[in-house]
Structure 1
Amino acid sequence: MLDLSTLVALAEADADGWDSDAGLPDEVIRLAARLGVFGIDQPTEYGGLGLGPGELGAAAARLGGVCTALRSLLTVTGVVTAAIQRWGTAEQRATWLPRLIAGEAVAGFAVTEPGAGSDLSAVCTRIEPGPGGHRVHGRKLWITFGQAADVLLVLGRAPNGPVAALVETDRPGVVVEPVRGQLGLRGCRLAHVSFEGVHLPADRLVAPAGFGLSHVASTALDHGRFTVAWGCVGMARACLADMTAHVSTRRQGDVALADHQSVRTRLGQAHAEVEGAWALCERAARERASQSPGRIMATVLAKYAAGRAAASVSQRAVQALGAVGCAPGSRVARFFRDAKVMQIIEGADEVAEVVLGDHVLAAHHGSRADRE
């Protein structure tokens, strides 16, 4: 049984402080682990809860509705455990999954580089054979919880193609540079990480060279999009609730804000966006649970719609709350900043639109061929 009430209550009280100070504290990470957050959809044999996509999505939405940093912690752990569970060796699963699920080690996902954002085929980090294993040379940017991570799943390039590897951050040559003051995700303890000839034993590669992007990273990114989608719809719901509460009690002179037709129109628009995104997230969960061939596209669509809903509804909420929405400690202002970042990571809007457009064309040509 997953009970997030303690964690949610803590976030409701302290999330603004985490956002403005040094980020999500270590003790909160440990609490999340004790409550089972890191093993929601992982097998019980490794200490997970063995729950399905629906339960995972609901947890991401609940955490996303109070603190993006907490939802991001769920996401980054999930992308790494999903990749290890799907593509790791039996020894890697036995070694890493229990530690990550129990919170004994914090995970990070290191893919983005100065010249490789949406196009991960352009990564330049090298993971090359060396004495006794491999050597890692390169630099990764914007690693969520990179400041706290004990191990990173790193996407790089080997002589035989893209490769993914598990790199402990206490290895000589790993240099962690904290990032602060960015637009959003300020509680996520972001970091840039450099790898200066880092030695890796041979057993740290996850899947053979050539499978790093098409298999390992794609599995991780798909899992990430799913929880980001649910986290975004949780944000959007929270912003709609704050907006509704404000206009229901706020007055301009003798007139309640809710009496303005334009205000009710914005509430209606926001409600439609939230409900539409929520329905698409539920559909994505059903597709994943049934292992439908359309599950990946359903997740892309859900993430796209939920990210746009979070950005749009948070903007409407800030506008409706006025000075209250812009004041220090405003949840809608924090979500407004976070939502903009959510439209960029785990598949930028523009990339998703191309993918969805290609899907529409493929479906059209397929149905046309069936008719002919």
Structure 2
Amino acid sequence: MEWTDSQTTQREAFDAFIKEHVLPHAGTWDREERMPSAAIQALAATGYLGALVPREMGGAGFDALTFGLLNETLGRGCSSLRSLLTVHTMVIHAIDRWGTRTTRERWLPAFARGASLGAFGLTEPQAGSDPGAIETTAEERGDTLILNGRKRWITFGEIADVLLIFARCQGAPCAVLVEADRPGVSRTPIRGMLGTRASMLAEIDLVNCEVPRENLLARHGFGLSHVAQSALDWGRYSVAWGSVGIAHAALEASARYTEERVQFGTKLRDHQLIRAMLTEMHVQTKAAALLCWNAGRLKDQRHPSAILETSIAKYFAARAAMRAATDAVQIHGASGCSADQPVERLLRDAKIMEIIEGSNQLHQISLADYASRTSPL
């Protein structure tokens, strides 16, 4: 992997950020199942929440590879905080790609500053892996849209200021920006999740919620095929790099532990089966990083195969993170099953990576179509 001087400098800044603001607190955030405002403000103060907002709109204007490095670093520190960046950026991308000039000028500067937080309102009680089954409706009444429906498992839905809601308008999918403080919007926090517990998930109820028609992104019928899918592509890219971060953290924790722990008169790292596990973790993590790097490189080139390569990277990286975290817990033994060790949290977070932004099985189904008619080289 080749990095520019700018990307290397940014990576050093990302590392410094998580060492000061994330690593000392990630375990507490996980146990308390909340992300404190101070952590979000720290992320906003660096400009990282506006990573993909164009500079002319007040953002950092990162290229895809630099954005990937940011997600890897945050994933290494806390997947819940990384998930905030993921969904916030998905909304940013939707506005930047599909919004009018007026819409972009209205929303993007506040998103770049972190003055407004975005959440991605796609999933519903009966529509998870099948977004085409959404039941939320948007009824047109003059210059107003009336929304009714329920969204579930909405990451940072508990505190988001703006919700990108996907609904059906005249039977066709649409995407609508909804301010969370509008009458008719209510949210119920979701607790007790397996992983990314500080992601402040919520169920969102919309009851006769009125929004101006100007909050509509793109034309009717483009809500899922264009707005949602392009945003989900960036979500997968973010999760893929975040998964590399989890695997990286699992490897680092295991390397430290095996150097310190002595059993049968020998350091753990000198036992052959432990060495085999460490080798596998290292190789899988590096391979995942290479796939993510390739996807980012293609995104920066606006290459038509970038979406496919992002899907491959997300599929492989999520599985690599799960294997690395599982082996890390195994290496730590009973200690690895305790909240005293970060690998316990890494394992729970890694499982979430195999489900969100397209489960492993959905990626297998879609990638099999390409595998049957294209060369992997």
Is TM (by shorter chain) over 0.5? yes
Aligned to 2:295: 284
> Retained in 2: the 8 A contact 1:153–1:164?
yes
Aligned to 1:370: none
Q: Matches of residues 309-320 of structure 1 in structure 2 within 5 Å?
A: 309-320=320-331
> Retained in 2: the 8 A contact 1:8–1:63?
no
Q: Matches of residues 1-372 of structure 1 in structure 2 within 5 Å?
A: 2=10, 3-4=13-14, 5-363=16-374
> TM-score, normalised on structure 2?
0.94
For residues 206 and 324 of structure 1, what CA distance do their matches in structure 2 show? 49
After TM superposition, give the deviation of residue 57 of structure 1 in Å: 0.3
Alpha-carbon RMSD across the aligned residues, in angstroms, is 1.4
After TM superposition, give the deviation of residue 317 of structure 1 in Å: 0.1
After TM superposition, give the deviation of residue 245 of structure 1 in Å: 1.2
| 350-359 or 126-135, larger mean C-alpha shift | 126-135
3-state SS, counterpart of residue 319 of structure 1? helix
Q: How many residues align?
A: 365
3-state SS, counterpart of residue 210 of structure 2? strand
> Retained in 1: the 8 A contact 2:188–2:203?
yes
> Retained in 2: the 8 A contact 1:47–1:101?
yes
For residues 22 and 332 of structure 1, what CA distance do their matches in structure 2 show? 17
After TM superposition, give the deviation of residue 271 of structure 1 in Å: 1.2
After TM superposition, give the deviation of residue 239 of structure 1 in Å: 0.3
Cα offsets for 1:15-45 (capped at 9, x unmatched): 1111111411112112111101112222101
Structure 1 gap ranges (5+)? 368-372
For residues 7 and 272 of structure 1, what CA distance do their matches in structure 2 show? 24
Structure 2 counterpart of 1:319, one-letter code: Q
> Retained in 2: the 8 A contact 1:307–1:339?
yes
> Retained in 1: the 8 A contact 2:76–2:245?
yes
| 129-138 or 200-209, larger mean C-alpha shift | 129-138
Structure 2 counterpart of 1:336, one-letter code: L
Structure 1 counterpart of 2:197, one-letter code: R
After TM superposition, give the deviation of residue 332 of structure 1 in Å: 0.9
> Retained in 1: the 8 A contact 2:50–2:114?
no
Cα offsets for 1:88-125 (capped at 9, x unmatched): 11111001000111011111001001111111011111
Structure 2 gap ranges (5+)? 1-8
After TM superposition, give the deviation of residue 51 of structure 1 in Å: 1.9
> Retained in 1: the 8 A contact 2:35–2:198?
yes
Structure 2 counterpart of 1:303, one-letter code: K
